[in-house]
Amino acid sequence: MVFVDLLISTLTQGLIYALLSYGVFITYKILDFPDLTVDGSFPLGAAITGVLMLNGMNPYLVLLVSAGFGALAGLATGFIHVRLGVRDLLAGIITMTALFSINLQIAGSNLAIERSIDTIFTAKLTLILLGSMSLMQRKFIVALVIAVIVKILLDLYLKTKSGLLLRAVGDNSTLVTTLAKDKGTMKILGLVIANALVALCGSVVCQEQRAFASTMGTGQVVFGLATVIIGTTLFRRFTFVKGTTAVLVGSIFYKICIQVAISLGLPANLLKLVMAVLFLVVLVLGDKKKGGADYA
């Protein structure tokens, strides 16, 4: 039973963090923009969530508000890059650094959410639908539902005219200009959507852990990039598999790798080192040819 429990909780982690992977998929794979804002917008979602939940806001509503703040973070990076002409990597670093202080300002300090406060995993609606399950099973189902719903919404968006234009920006921005559209605006839109998803992920993680820590963003962009590259590399030959599906699997695969390492006795202090090495391995083996909209 211990093994099954471990498997379910690992899968749950993979599903929750897939939200972050979707965001990185948009910036890195579709827009060809290495967005470091993620390390700041992820804890931003968690900080907003912690504060709002302690003030008694509905946990489902908290998800949306957190995503909204993430969107603002993406807007900031987009504005700095597109309108102020700062390089993509640096624009992300600036927002990320600023967010570190902003997050602490919002939360005041590290936060813990008491058991008496309902999260999306324990709220009334969830209990009505999934009341007969254990908390662990409920977390799994809720994470699965959120990951699938967001995936479907994202897939649908990428099929719209706006989504098609977004893919065109990463693929050939000159063409977007000749289509009489501002490529800068589309880049900003992509960053807004991506960071909204990342903050949404931060919110779900905060509700799941019942905690916000100011350092929880460290390494998230590396995680996101690794899952996107793992996912798209795994399914490279299967062109019918959607990019979002690929990164969802990538996220789960990554979390399983980390869990295996921990189960084999890896000290927690070495976790980020293992993450970095895993990322390097993925980069060298997988992503020889980067960029473009590998989405079909």
Residues lying near other proteins in the complex (CB under 8 A) are found at 157, 159-165, 167-168, 171-172, 174-183, 292-296
CB of 152 to other proteins, least distance (A): 15
Instruction: Return d(Cα 219, Cα 222) in angstroms, integer.
Output: 5
Beta carbon nearer to other proteins, 58 or 172: 172
Beta carbon nearer to other proteins, 124 or 159: 159
Beta carbon nearer to other proteins, 115 or 288: 288
CB of 243 to other proteins, least distance (A): 11
CB of 175 to other proteins, least distance (A): 6
Instruction: Return d(Cα 171, Cα 236) in angstroms, integer.
Output: 17
Beta carbon nearer to other proteins, 164 or 285: 164
Residue type, 185: T
CB of 213 to other proteins, least distance (A): 37
Beta carbon nearer to other proteins, 287 or 294: 294
Instruction: Return d(Cα 80, Cα 280) in angstroms, integer.
Output: 29
Beta carbon nearer to other proteins, 174 or 269: 174
Instruction: Return d(Cα 46, Cα 89) in angstroms, integer.
Output: 23
Exposed, middle or buried by CB within 10 Å (0-12, 13-18, 19+), for 123? middle
CB of 58 to other proteins, least distance (A): 27
The answer to whether the beta carbons of residues 287 and 236 sit under 8 Å apart is no
In the chain, what's the furthest Cα-to-Cα distance?
Answer: 60
CB of 156 to other proteins, least distance (A): 9
Residue type, 264: L
CB of 168 to other proteins, least distance (A): 5
Helix H or strand E segment including 211: strand 211-212
Residue type, 290: K
Exposed, middle or buried by CB within 10 Å (0-12, 13-18, 19+), for 209? middle
For 110, phi then psi, to 5°, come to -65, 145
Beta carbon nearer to other proteins, 189 or 222: 189
Instruction: Return d(Cα 113, Cα 19) in angstroms, integer.
Output: 22
